[in-house]
Every structure is written in structure tokens, then in C-alpha cells.
Structure 1
């Protein structure tokens, strides 16, 4: 997959079939569109292309909105690389770019730089300055500039019945099962491992603290989760606590991972974990010993869940 970080980079002499959107989560609904895009591209000897934007337009145009996203940019790229897509264009979204008129956007972006021969787009897509142009306008521009427009109907969208908003809500509620079903993969959290206070090690549950650099990344509901990670080619399972460690007077939210049957130093390394199941809310215990006993129970329940996964 070719990745371009600016759509105004050097032009190449090929034609494309393109779809446009933020594709947050790259969920099962998105992948239905991407599959269609790839199939049409192959049949017509065109380059399948997604045009997306970063930062998310709402982060630029509605700066007061505390929007949280399902994917970091690197996560989104990694998922799309497995989709069969030929080209991903990630264009920097700015207020200046948002002020392009609809026709200028079509002519300069879709026609001159992306060289679109076909545009696949949702029935409710709006574009141009103040998002005033509709799909009917896009069809008219297509007739003028020589590209086709294929509309994704409301029926097709409703048939999948999935949205990034629904997935965000599920994760905020701690409903990992629903979120993962809608995503078509396990929700992930990744970052650099930093040093904590070492309390987990004293309890017999050494933890790796994940520091997520991207402030816009959605952190699921506080609580204890069953997780897995691929570390140096080996699949490892464990449990993770998202929370404030009230039993030991924690004063900030942390993401702490304990890997089963693992011995080693992870500090400074990057780790990405997949959330498999939420076990319980975070609790404040009367003593550290009570916490340790609960962690033993959590581990037993986690291992039972993992065993069931393997059986299935």
C-alpha cells in the first residue's frame, strides 16, 4: 500500500477509484465499502484509493469538542494495510483547506491530484466550504470533469448498522464484546512502557505501565480487562487495569498490564494490547492483602476465559 502524507505531493500518471472519509475504527461497515472499492479498482484497472484527513476535521473546526478516536493514525494505517487497498492519502486538515469551495475541491483535489475516474461515497456525504455541497452536486461535477459517482445507499449503511459513534459508546460503557463485534477485531491500546511505583511486583503481579502519547485516543471505561499481546513473535495473555489505584492512594489514571507466565524487562519498549473481555469495575479494598486476593481471583477468571477462547 502506498501512503501519501499530502495529496498535493508529486502527481503520478495513473487513474483512481476513490472514497473519502475519516474511517475511524475501520470497522465492519467501513470494510464493506473498502472491499467494494478494491473490487471495482481491479475490474477497471484503477488504483483503489482512500482520502482521509488528520487531524480529524472536528478537532480543527470545533476545537472545544473533546473528540476521542478509536484509532491512532499508526493503528489506522496498520489496519488498512491488510485490506488490499492500493493507496492511502492522509492529508493534513486545516481551516484553510476547509474553506475550499466545492468546485475547487473537486477540480484541484479529486480531478487534478487524485485523478479520480470513479468516486464511491455515502448518500449523505457533504463537502466544500461549510459542507454545503451534496452528492447531487458531486454527480454534476462528475459529468463536467469526467468521473463517475457511485452512491452508497441508506439501505446499505443501515444493513450493516455499525458506526464509529456506537463503538465509542460501547467502549465508554465497558462493553468490549459489542465494540469488538462492530470493529471486526479486538480494540487495542498501545504505547511505550514506563516505570510505575512497583506495587504490583510486591503483590506478585508485576505490571507494565502503558503510556499512550496520543491524547485523542479513546480509553475504555475504568476497570479490569482480559488482554493479549504479540511480543517478539509470541502471543501472550494477561490482564489489565485501567484506573486510579484507589487502594494504594493513586492520584492519576494509569493503564497497567500484567502478563501471565512472562519474565523480562519491558521498560522503554512499545507494547500494543488487545482487549478481549471486561472483568469488573475498579474497586477500593480495605487492605493491600485484599487487593492481592482479588487479583488472584481475576487471574483465575481470565485464564478460564482464555481457555474458552482456545476451545472455540
Structure 2
């Protein structure tokens, strides 16, 4: 039986305890990219072979948010998105442990004994060769193997060669998105990068120029938003795939000051205020620009619409 521990907001997350034996991997898994997916597949396969439950132990908030008070850090996934992605790759138990200063102060022994063994019932751990844990990251993979002998679990080490064979990293994905290169980011991720946000009321300018937009509010300030520009996107709205053009930026043509996210959905005319949408990025059309006037902006949006439709048609052939 699978379960997902749903974190309360903002960060109050409790560790759930189950009595099932588990094969587990541990990490931040920001992005759940193709490198992570290789590890997850191994965990799922081993669990099926041995009759155990597949599990991921992940920490939230990010350690740098807690230890260095660095709230400017941007992550590829919100914690809810991370849980959704981990489950989509077959992980039965997603266990989110709140990262606190007290947790950071746990000795390696207490971490292994009380959390991995007593609480999680770990029977096997699949982990990278460079894994460190415990207070001040005092213990490494060799120490973990010694603990495994003492507490009767196994360790499968992911070698340096295996990790290096997958050249992707969360850092590379963040850089690609910061540059607006969503095609490159999507190739690293193995899926389309997406945001999740609520449709809220905007100023209504788009409707006056025949391009009504849905304004998207993302409540998690740590979620990474791609570079300013115009993108082709898609969303599943009440069971139907709807394509659109998303603008990220400050709307300089009308002297906008605050950064916003707006989507003009193609051939769509429904009331979606207050709905929470998952919106996937497909392609970047252009950078955000300041036009001479509203008429010039409207003319460019018509060109953008033609280019977006051409791209969508090419992908659906």
C-alpha cells in the first residue's frame, strides 16, 4: 500500500512511521531529472525482486535555507511537485523529513539507528559513492557500510562511473532555465518543465487588445521561474489539453513594474479564475520587448500566435 506524506504549510512536515521493510534512496532530488530517474528505477526494481517497499527519504526545506538563512535559493520543484514526480516513477513511499537545525545536529550513528533503522525499517539503501551524512557531514559511504553490518541492512553503492555517465545535474537545468533554454532543460529532465499556480485576476489589458490572459500566481517563492520572455506552453484543463502563449516579465510597453506570469490560451474561452493549473513549457519564442505603442505590441502578439500554432502543429504531426 502506498502513501505520500503531504506537508503542511509552510514547512511543518512530520516523518511518518510504517512497519514495512523498505529499499530506500536518500536525497534532495530537485528536478527529479534523468540522472535521478536511473536511481529511482533501480530502487523500484530491487523492491519488486525482494518483495520490499520502494521508498525515498527527502529533506525539506533545503539545508541552505535553514543553516545559512538563504531564502533566495531557487528550486526546480516545489515540495508538492517533487512528491508528485517521485510517485510518477513508481516510488511507493515518499517520506519528507523536515530539515531543522536539530536534525542537522544528529550524529551519524543517531541518524542511522533512529531514523533509517528504527523508524523507516530500512533493509537496503541505494546511494551514491559520494554520500555524506550526520552532523557536519561527518560520515561517508564507508561508514554507512559499517553501520549496515551492525544494524543488518545492505548498501548498494552507485559508482562514480555510473554517476558520471549521466552528465545532467540540477545545476545545469537551473542554468538552462535562467537562460530561457526550456528545450535543453526538458532534455535533461526527461519531461517538460512546469509550474503550478492559481489563476488570479489581473489588470485586464490583454482583453482590450484581443489577447485575454490568465494571470498565474505561484505561492512558493523558492520556485524557479524561467527567464523573461514568451513561451509556448500547454496545460490540462478539466481533462483537455489546451495550448497557449505565456509571457514572463514586467510588461514594459505599459510601464509595468512587477514581474508577472500571464498565459493566453489558444482557442479557449472558459472561466478559470481560482483554478490551480499545472503549465508545461514547450518552447521559447522570443525575449520580452518594449514596443513603441500598444498597436505594435498587438501586431507582435499576432505574429507570436502564428509561430506558436506552427510549432504546435509540427509537434503533433
Give the 3-state SS of the residue equivalent to 2:88 in structure 1: coil
Structure 1 Cα separation of the partners of residues 38 and 310 of structure 2: 34
Structure 1 Cα separation of the partners of residues 201 and 246 of structure 2: 15
* Deviation (angstroms), 1:175: 0.6
Structure 2 Cα separation of the partners of residues 40 and 18 of structure 1: 10
* Deviation (angstroms), 1:86: 1.6
Give matches, 1:207-222, under 5 Å. 207-222=213-228
Structure 2 Cα separation of the partners of residues 171 and 75 of structure 1: 17
Residue aligning to 1:120: 126
For structure 2, list consecutive stretches of 5 or more residues without a partner in the other structure. Answer: 7-12
Equivalent residues of 1:188, 1:272 under 8 A apart: yes
Give the 3-state SS of the residue equivalent to 2:44 in structure 1: helix
Match of 1:185 among 185, 191, 205: 191
Equivalent residues of 1:7, 1:113 under 8 A apart: no
Residue aligning to 1:149: 155
Equivalent residues of 1:7, 1:109 under 8 A apart: no
Equivalent residues of 2:71, 2:222 under 8 A apart: no
Equivalent residues of 2:129, 2:141 under 8 A apart: yes
C-alpha deviations, 1:87-141, integer Å up to 9, x for none? 1101111000110000110000111011111111011110000111110110111
Residue aligning to 2:91: 85
Match of 1:270 among 276, 280, 286: 276
TM-score under structure 2 length normalisation? 0.95
Where in structure 1 do 4 or more consecutive aligned residues deviate above 6 Å? none
1:244 aligns with 2:250: yes
The alpha-carbon distance between structure 1 residues 131 and 196, as it changes in their structure 2 partners (threshold 3 A), is same
Q: Number of aligned residue pairs: give it.
A: 310
1:25 aligns with 2:31: yes
1:52 aligns with 2:53: no
Structure 2 Cα separation of the partners of residues 4 and 273 of structure 1: 24
Residue aligning to 2:5: 4
Equivalent residues of 1:69, 1:218 under 8 A apart: yes
Residue aligning to 1:73: 79
* Deviation (angstroms), 1:15: 1.0
Residue aligning to 2:204: 198
TM-score under structure 1 length normalisation? 0.97
The alpha-carbon distance between structure 1 residues 14 and 200, as it changes in their structure 2 partners (threshold 3 A), is same
